Every structure is written in structure tokens, then in C-alpha cells.
Structure 1
Amino acid sequence: MKDIIKRTKILATLGPATNSPEKIKALIEAGANGFRLNFSHGSYEERLDQIKWIRDASRQIGRPVAILQDLQGPKIRLGALKGNHFDVKAGSEIVLDHAIQEHDGSANLPIQYNLADKVKVGEPVYLFDGKIRGHMVERVSDTAIKVRIDNDGFLMSRKGLNLPDTDFGGDIITPKDMADVEFGADKDIDFVALSFIQSADDVNNLRQILVSQGSTAQIIAKIETKAAIEPETLKEIVKAADGVMAARGDMAVETSAEIVPIVEREIIRLCRKYGKLSIVATQMMASMVDSPEPTRAEVSDVATAAILGTDVVMLSDETANGNYPVETVKMMANTVRYTQSRWPMNDMPIEEGEVNRRRNAIARAAVEVAERVDADLIIAETKSGATAARIAALRPELPIIAVTPSPRVAQQLALSYATRSYVRDDEEHAGVNVAKELLTTGKYSSNGRLVVVVVSGRQPGATGGTDTLRVRVIE
């Protein structure tokens, strides 16, 4: 009975394969708790349609759903190449020039970002997302650098570059990102993900921009650079952000593949310690882009992330461009449910700190009391979502019901571990009233009664006022 809620949540990326209201509704019904909108592609008109479709489907199904705006960041790409193809040989040299508007077939290639002031001689330059490797040998002009190629292969139009040793000096929020943030500020976006973060300052800079735009979206820091995985830097990024994504695709290119599993575990550990949202992303079920069945290694990958206690597992190409998007979400949801029902969640100490000491104490007490009285649910009445998030950080093995007056908070909590959120007006006994509603559905009880632990404040709706814990039997 206590495993009805899928404790680890699913974030699905929208794309051509799922760009319709029918597909979005089907993905939610299959187990998606939120949607990633990749702002590296697509138009604003498409985004407006997708946001509307998500919110309509959410209302029809009666479940809050999160929307994540994924900013492109300094994701550097080649421009359009003549014939969409250019062969390279080991030892050959190419010029990457931001000033070129149209490729003439020569070794002077257009690039969508000016690297001349960023890259130093000798630094590695990986093209085609790491398939072609080289290093800078010369600064040709104010807009161009020369790169010597290390291996045979070919390049294609608009394929990405990675520069693992290049310091962008805090210049990771591009003009395109600024325009995208301005667009999304009043478009019902719950999370903004920032790509290629190198330090906590990048998170703080985005926070100031969001506040200036009047946005209440939370920040997800994408960890994919060599600078960001340094232990102290990573810890400070986790503390500064609202959540962290292990962006394993670019991370593997920027660092090396064998590093990724350890960094993934450290991100989950730190997020649990500091009560932040954790997301594991990239190639979780990549074979299902073309196949109706995942590999056993992919199923194990998803199960391992759930065992480690991540809040969210994310699908990219599988749902954006794959042939089996709904089936992929169902398979991921089934894997999570089976895993959580048969493998205990390990405990993790939560960082106290002066601000969180009382909130942590109440959260831990709620979980311990719920276990001792064999409760069916923990109910958190929360204005900001912080109380529910602290309870979720303890990874209880039973559902958390968050009751909040804020639709935004309810949508953000849709990705929080083991949490199902409900929007209700500020009033006394709001949590108990939701428990009574749930009892009538029969989802959480088979004997006509519910034992619930309710965490609330004596002043409903007051942020930071959580100070009360009650055990109630609802019949």
C-alpha cells in the first residue's frame, strides 16, 4: 500500500516525437511528473503551445506537473557546413571563425561562438561532441582560432564542441539565454536549468536575473564541466542551487567517462545532505529510441539511481525523438516502483545549519513517528515547499502529501522525492481535509481508515512557521 507513489520521479523531454497534447497527456498517465523544454531547439511559439498543453493535461488528470526550462548556455556549435559534411584527418588543421557567415567548403569553418578571447594555445578542442579531438595551435584573428586535429573522421553542421580546460570567466549566460529567461519569466515555468556551470557564482548570477525578471522559478545547476566537479566547488554549487542535474553526456566529454558514475553518486549524496533536488540525466534508456525494450544495463542504471536516492531520473532523446516515448516512461516507472518496493533506502545525515535546525528536527520527528505508528501518509502543510522538501530529503518509505496554497510550489514539488502535492486555500486542518478526500479514493487504505502524521504551523500560510506535529486517524 505504501508503494503506490513512485518515490523517484520522472522528467521527460519534449520534442518532435511528443509535440502534441495527446502525447503529453499519455506521458503523464504513463508516469511522467515533469517536462523538460530544451531551449537549444525550437521556437517560442512551440514553447507556448507545449506549456499550454502541459497545464491542460495536468488539470484534466488532476495532478501538478513541473515544467523545466533548460537553457542552452555556452553550448558551442559549428555553423552550417557546405554539404552538411566536412572530412578531417589526423594532423590536419582547421580554422574556427565566428565571423564566417557561409561555409565555402574550405578548412575555414563557421562557428556560433567567438572562441578567440577564451581558448588558450594547447587547450583541447573536442568537436562533434567528442568524436573529433584536437587542440588549439594559434589565435588567427579577433574572431578565429586554428585547431590541429588528432584523429580521422568527419564533421557535420551545427554539431557541438567541448572545451574542458577553457575558463569562460563567468561568461556562461549567453545573450540567447538572457532572451530565453526573459521569455520564460512570466510563462508558468517552475525550474530553470543552467548549462555548463563552473562555480556557485554562475548560480547566484542567474538568481539575480530571475529576481529582476519577477520569476519565481527555482534553479537547477547542470554539472558537466571539469571545473564544477572539483569537490569544494561542487559542494558550493549544490548549496547555492535549488537542485542539481548530473548531466552525464557532456560531463563524459568534458572530463572522461569513468569519472561520471562517481560524480553522479556525489551529486546525489550532496543533494540529500543539503535537502536539494537531484536529477540524473542522459542515456538512461537510450536504446529505447529505436527499440521497444531497454537493455538490461539501462534498467540497472535506472534502478541504481533509485537505490542511491535521486529525486528524479530524466529522459532526453528517448521521449524527444524516440519511436517509443510512452513505453519508455512506463518501463522507467515500472523499474522505479519495483526497485523501491524491494530495496531499502539507506539513511543520510541532513546538514543542519542555523536556519534549518528546527525544520530538520520536525522533519526527522515526522518520519520517525510515522514509522513507529505505522502511518499510511505524512502530510506537510507548506507555504514555500521547504517543509515537504526537508521531509523528502530523509527519504521516507511512505508517501508525502504536500498541501500548499501555491500552484507554483505544488508544481515544483511534483519532482520532489515521494511527494504528491495538492493546492488548497490557507485554512486550519487543510491537511486533514485532504486526507479525508484521499480516504474516499481508496488509494492509500484497504481497511477504510488512514493513519497520518500531519506537520503544520499554528499560523496557516506563514512561511517558516512549521512547529506542530500531530498523529490523526481518519475514518
Structure 2
Amino acid sequence: MKPIYKRTKILATIGPASDSEEMIEKLIEGGINGARLNFSHGSYEEHGAKITKIREISTRLGKQVAILQDLQGPKIRLGDLVDNRFEVAEGDEIVLDYAIEQHDGSANLPVQYNLAEKVKVGEPVFIFDGKVKTEVVEIPSSTAIKLKVLNKGTLASRKGLNLPDTDFGGDVITEKDKRDMEFGATQDIDYVAMSFVQTAEDIEAVRQILLSLGSEAQIIAKIETKKAVSDEELEKIVIAADGVMIARGDMAYEVAPEAVPIVQRKTIALCRKHGKISIVATQTMGSMVDNPQPSRAEVSDVANAVIQGSDVVMLSDESATGKYPYETVRAMRSVIRYTQEHAAVAPIDDIVERGENEALNAISLAAVELAEQIDADAIVVETKSGQTAATVAANRPSLPIVSVTSSTRVAQQLGLNYGTRSFVRPDGEFAGYELAKDLKADGFFGDKENVIVVIVSGRQPGLVGGTDTIRVRAI
């Protein structure tokens, strides 16, 4: 019997509940493949310490762990309120004024962004995770907007605002984001996640900043705005980015709660079409912040992401501040493994059109079909940039993908690719075959006496884009 491998990966947010050396080690051994650092919170010193611990522990355990820097983006928040709260009733009018430095208890409230430059009369504004719904009725000055309150509720200091119909005109990279990217460029960061993306041009702007900083990090576009999920923009964003995070929390307010499952399904399909990483995020196991077991609905949610073919499922508060970070990872791992053993990954043909069958895609598909037909034990991919491994993974094989690369950065980034185990070895004509022999000796394939692998490689080892060969080898 072949060993069971977890093909959908787990990305866990590292926070106060999980940033000790002991807990990071438990989480890596428990099944995480990536660590998310939320740059909406914490100092550079704290984030740097987490990165150091993750790298030291993952090296000691011999497991590649991707590190993702999640930028805050233009998260618009209220300022500080008197007594930290302000009661409103249906029909009330309030003013949000960027020029106010200190709240005086009146209906004129401070806000941390000049909305007067962006909003239009009639646009909705949701405050405090949608608890208070309002509508723009007037723009009385160059720094203030007047809102009509549509339901009774309580506003609180520094709570966020969502403006689903407002066009921010590409103004999605904040000064804080730029400072955070400068810091990240000095650290061992594999991915940078960009918040509140609206267009593919936003991705290119971030890419130019990272290139100017000498960063090798790849870009994850967080899909959460109405414009980003539109038919005109979604596929362009998937193509421009290296991966996509389906940020379901803000999306529920920016778009509509009922749209979230449909957007998730389409986005995963587009990522599979173009060989990009897909990450399903937000409340995947939210009840485990306080409880040692997930709800049945959460188990179904994770299983559905696995069946749809998502590369990654992500934990936020569950692992960052929850009471049971390790138990949550283990529960998620169990759901992934059970699902993949009992349900096939769904096809994408009925959701999106397949891409053009270019040479690399054709070779990758052929390798997967061959491996499945001969019941191989693994597909071994020799890759310089990681692109070949990504295109093989995009075909969602049911057997392990073993990637060998001479780049430590690429090996770490491949930690989030579907079904992929990555290893660092020098470039060479027989790098994949030699690795497969070593893995057999180490028990990677269980106790099988004869192991069959399909090796995908190029005639010029180490050449980016040179993949042109498929070989079958018995070990």
C-alpha cells in the first residue's frame, strides 16, 4: 500500500498563540507548509524574530516552509473615539472627517483616510465588519463625508470600513506597505500578499517595487474587492500574480456573502488553468479559536476547497490567537487527507476554458497522464525557477510531485504548491534520479521493493524554460 500524502497545503498565521519555538516546531511537525506573518500587527523586531525561528526549526526538521508577508493595504479605519465607542440609530447622520485629530464626542468622527477624495454620493459604507450600514449623502468639504445611518448599532475606535462601490483608482499601495516591503526585502521572505487588489496594474506596481528592492519574493493577490472579482479583471489578476488568496472575510462585505462560494470556485479554476497558487482564506476553522473541535460546517468548507483543487487552505485567528493552534492544524490535516482519499478533484472545464496547450503545459500534462497510467509512485521534476513544478501541479495528479532545484528560495516557495515536496540539490543531468534513489533509501515511498518514477527534466540542467524530456525510471 502506498503512503498517504497530504496534497492540499496548510498555511498558518503565526501570532501570539504560536510564535514560541515549541509551538512553531509542533505546527511544522503537525502539517503546516507555510507561515503567514500579518503586517497589520507587530513590530519589525517581532516579525524578524519569527522569521529566524521558522527558518531554524524548518531546517532542523528538514522540511521546506514558505514564509508569506501579508501587507495591510489601504485598510480604512475610524480614529479613536471618546470612551472608544459611539452609539448610532437608524436615520442618524454622522460625518467622517480626515482632518479631525481628536474626537469630541459629537457626530463628527475621525477617520484614518481622506475618503472625500474618493467616494460619491449614494455609495454604501459598511462600518465595523458590516455591523453598521450607511450611505453617503453629502461631501461637505475636501476632507469630510456625511453618512446616513441605515441601522441601529455601535461604532468603536479603529474599526474598519468597507466601501464596495468606491473606486480607489489604483491607490492601493500605502506608505506603510512600502516600508514593510523594504523591511521584507532584507528578510528571508518567499511571498508578499497584496491586500485590496483591484486590477492587474496593481500587481505590476508591487512587482516593480520588489524588483527595485532586489527582492525575490513572489506576489500573492488578495481577491476581496468588487472590481477584482469582475469578469473584466479576475483572470487578468490571476495571470499577473504568482498566486491568489481568496480573502473571504472582506469579500463578504465588498461584494456579497452569497457571491463568495461562486468567486472561490471560479478563482481556483482560473489558478489551475494558469498554473498559479490558490489560497482559500478566512474562517476555515473559525470555531477552533475557542473550541478543540471544528464544526461540521467548517469540515465541509475545508473538504470543499480540497475537492475544488485549491493549493492551500489558510488559518488566521485559529493559529495566531486561538486557544488550540496545534489541534486546529491537526484537524485540518485530517480533513484534507480523508477528503483526497475518498473524493477526486473536480474538473474545471465547466467553470473556465482551458488555456492554450503550450509546450511546457503539454509536457507537464503528458507526464501526469503517463504517471497515472503506469501507476507510478511519484513524478520527479527537475526545475530551476519552479515553473515546471507549478504546471505539473496544475494538473492535480493523485501522486506526489517531488521537485528538485538548486535554488533554496524556489524550494521554499514550492512549499505551497499542490502535492509538491521540494528538495535542494546541485544542477546535474541525473539530479532527479539520484534524489529519487536517496528518497527510496530513506523510506519516502514506504517499504516498496520496486519504485517507479516519471522524471520531467531538460537536456540542459539549470536552464530556465528548458524542460523537454520525460523519462520513466525503476528504482
Normalised-by-shorter TM-score class: over 0.9
Q: What is the match of residue 438 of structure 1? A: 439
Aligned pairs (5 A) from 1:301-450: 301-348=301-348, 351-353=354-356, 357-450=358-451
- Aligned-partner residue type, residue 389 of structure 2: A
Q: What is the match of residue 122 of structure 2? A: 122
Q: What is the match of residue 31 of structure 1? A: 31
- Aligned-partner residue type, residue 336 of structure 2: V
- Aligned-partner residue type, residue 449 of structure 1: N
Aligned pairs (5 A) from 1:173-184: 173-184=173-184
Instruction: Could you tell me which runs of 5 or more consecutive residues in structure 1 were left unpaired when the two chains were aligned.
Output: none
Residue deviations 1:133-154, cap 9 Å, x none?
0011222322221111111110
Query: CA offset at residue 346 of structure 1?
Result: 3.2
- In structure 2, relative to structure 1, the CA distance for the partners of 1:149 and 1:2 (3 Å cut) is farther
Q: What is the match of residue 12 of structure 1? A: 12
Q: What is the match of residue 466 of structure 1? A: 467
Query: CA offset at residue 428 of structure 1?
Result: 2.2
Residue deviations 1:185-232, cap 9 Å, x none?
121111111111111111111111111111111111111111111113
For 2:265, what is the secondary structure of its paired residue? helix
Distance in 1 (CA, whole Å) between partners of 2:17 and 2:160 is 22
CA contact 1:96–1:110 (8 Å) conserved in 2? yes
Query: CA offset at residue 441 of structure 1?
Result: 2.1
Distance in 2 (CA, whole Å) between partners of 1:15 and 1:108 is 35
TM-score by structure 1 length? 0.97
- Aligned-partner residue type, residue 116 of structure 1: A
Q: What is the match of residue 71 of structure 1? A: 71
- Aligned-partner residue type, residue 340 of structure 1: Q
Residue deviations 1:30-89, cap 9 Å, x none?
111001111111111111001111111110110110011111111111122221111111
TM-score by structure 2 length? 0.97
- Aligned-partner residue type, residue 283 of structure 2: Q
- Aligned-partner residue type, residue 226 of structure 1: K
Q: What is the match of residue 54 of structure 2? A: 54
For 1:18, what is the secondary structure of its paired residue? coil
For 2:264, what is the secondary structure of its paired residue? helix
Aligned pairs (5 A) from 1:185-224: 185-224=185-224
Distance in 1 (CA, whole Å) between partners of 2:181 and 2:260 is 29
Residue deviations 1:244-265, cap 9 Å, x none?
1111000001111111100000
CA contact 1:190–1:218 (8 Å) conserved in 2? yes
- Aligned-partner residue type, residue 439 of structure 2: L
CA contact 2:3–2:445 (8 Å) conserved in 1? no
Query: CA offset at residue 119 of structure 1?
Result: 0.9
Q: What is the match of residue 158 of structure 1? A: 158
Q: What is the match of residue 264 of structure 2? A: 264
Deviates more, 1:190-199 or 1:92-101: 92-101
Residue deviations 1:103-159, cap 9 Å, x none?
222222121111110111111111001110001122232222111111111011111
Distance in 2 (CA, whole Å) between partners of 1:293 and 1:463 is 45
Distance in 2 (CA, whole Å) between partners of 1:443 and 1:177 is 41
CA contact 1:347–1:394 (8 Å) conserved in 2? no
In the alignment, is residue 456 of structure 1 matched against residue 444 of structure 2? no
CA contact 2:302–2:313 (8 Å) conserved in 1? yes
Distance in 2 (CA, whole Å) between partners of 1:72 and 1:100 is 23
Residue deviations 1:147-193, cap 9 Å, x none?
11111110111111000000000111111111111111121111111
Query: CA offset at residue 446 of structure 1?
Result: 2.1
Distance in 2 (CA, whole Å) between partners of 1:161 and 1:2 is 50
Residue deviations 1:350-390, cap 9 Å, x none?
8544xx71111111111111112211010000000001000
In the alignment, is residue 172 of structure 1 matched against residue 183 of structure 2? no
Residue deviations 1:398-433, cap 9 Å, x none?
000000011111111000000000011112211111
- Aligned-partner residue type, residue 462 of structure 2: G
CA contact 1:3–1:340 (8 Å) conserved in 2? no
Distance in 2 (CA, whole Å) between partners of 1:250 and 1:105 is 29
Aligned pairs (5 A) from 1:243-262: 243-262=243-262
Query: CA offset at residue 344 of structure 1?
Result: 1.5
Distance in 2 (CA, whole Å) between partners of 1:470 and 1:217 is 32
- Aligned-partner residue type, residue 210 of structure 1: L
Distance in 1 (CA, whole Å) between partners of 2:151 and 2:109 is 18
Query: CA offset at residue 447 of structure 1?
Result: 2.4
Aligned residues: percent identity? 63
Q: What is the match of residue 286 of structure 1? A: 286
CA contact 2:2–2:446 (8 Å) conserved in 1? no
Aligned pairs (5 A) from 1:78-93: 78-93=78-93
For 2:246, what is the secondary structure of its paired residue? strand
- In structure 2, relative to structure 1, the CA distance for the partners of 1:3 and 1:240 (3 Å cut) is farther
CA contact 2:125–2:136 (8 Å) conserved in 1? yes
Distance in 2 (CA, whole Å) between partners of 1:98 and 1:150 is 22
Query: CA offset at residue 275 of structure 1?
Result: 0.9
Query: CA offset at residue 2 of structure 1?
Result: 4.6
Distance in 1 (CA, whole Å) between partners of 2:214 and 2:197 is 22
For 1:145, what is the secondary structure of its paired residue? strand
Distance in 2 (CA, whole Å) between partners of 1:97 and 1:25 is 47
CA contact 1:2–1:399 (8 Å) conserved in 2? no
Residue deviations 1:274-307, cap 9 Å, x none?
1111010101100000000111010010001000
Distance in 1 (CA, whole Å) between partners of 2:242 and 2:401 is 19
RMSD of aligned residue pairs (Cα, Å): 1.3
Distance in 1 (CA, whole Å) between partners of 2:20 and 2:97 is 38
Deviates more, 1:103-112 or 1:319-328: 103-112
> How many positions carry a matched residue from both structures?
472
CA contact 1:442–1:448 (8 Å) conserved in 2? no
Query: CA offset at residue 101 of structure 1?
Result: 2.1
Distance in 2 (CA, whole Å) between partners of 1:148 and 1:334 is 48
Query: CA offset at residue 329 of structure 1?
Result: 0.5
- Aligned-partner residue type, residue 135 of structure 1: E
- Aligned-partner residue type, residue 412 of structure 1: Q
Distance in 2 (CA, whole Å) between partners of 1:305 and 1:351 is 20
Distance in 2 (CA, whole Å) between partners of 1:164 and 1:276 is 26
Distance in 2 (CA, whole Å) between partners of 1:157 and 1:364 is 53
Deviates more, 1:220-229 or 1:388-397: 220-229
